[in-house]
Amino acid sequence: MNKIIINFNVTPSQKETIELRMRENGFDDISSYVKVVALKTQKFSIKNRETLSQEASVELSFSVTEAQNAVIEKNVKEYGCENMNEYMCYVSLHGVVSAVIEIRSTGNLNAMLERIAKSRGLKLDLD
């Protein structure tokens, strides 16, 4: 399976905001976060177009499959973005990840939360 690398540029202050959004949405790394928001963000329309200022830019990147790249490219056009960089900056800064929690095996929410905490090496006190 061929992987495609998507690169986009943000300012250092935008990168800080993206890292904050990443943590708020429960992601451990920025590449996973930007990939998910690129693919799963809710439909939007850009109200104020942000451009890179004179600040130095930072390159962020993530890898996708050809099929995922096709979805992202379709979203760029469908959502009225001028280019991939504008789309990625917008969804990384403003995208909210929606997730459906699936309670597996025990059907017990606390058991699921404990499994997640254990996988992340955390101690969870649910009492």
CA-based nearest residue to 84, from 3, 2, 10, 1: 10
* Phi, psi of 8, deg, nearest 5: -150, 160
> Are both 75 and 19 inside the same structural domain?
yes
Please give the residue range of the domain that contains residue 12: 3-96
Helix, strand, coil percentages, rounded to 5, for the chain = 45, 15, 40
Q: Tell me how crowded residue 9 is: count the other CB atoms within 10 A of its CB.
A: 15
> Are both 84 and 66 inside the same structural domain?
yes
CA-based nearest residue to 8, from 78, 66, 96, 81: 81
> Are both 49 and 7 inside the same structural domain?
yes
**Cα–Cα distance measured from residue 100 to residue 38, given in angstroms and rounded to the nearest whole number:** 18
**Cα–Cα distance measured from residue 9 to residue 29, given in angstroms and rounded to the nearest whole number:** 17
Cα-to-chain-centroid distance, residue 115 = 23
Q: How many structural domains compose the chain?
A: 2
**Cα–Cα distance measured from residue 65 to residue 110, given in angstroms and rounded to the nearest whole number:** 35
> Are both 66 and 112 inside the same structural domain?
no
The reported pLDDT for the residue numbered 90 is: 87
The reported pLDDT for the residue numbered 64 is: 92
> Are both 30 and 80 inside the same structural domain?
yes
> Are both 14 and 30 inside the same structural domain?
yes
Q: Tell me how crowded residue 40 is: count the other CB atoms within 10 A of its CB.
A: 15
The reported pLDDT for the residue numbered 25 is: 77
The reported pLDDT for the residue numbered 99 is: 46
> Are both 78 and 118 inside the same structural domain?
no
- Model's pTM, two decimal places? 0.64
Helix (H) or strand (E) holding 3: strand 3-10
pLDDT tens, residue order, the chain (127 aa): 688 999 999 989 999 999 988 888 778 889 988 998 888 877 777 766 665 455 668 889 999 999 999 999 999 999 888 899 989 988 888 765 544 444 444 556 676 667 667 766 766 665 5
> Are both 116 and 76 inside the same structural domain?
no
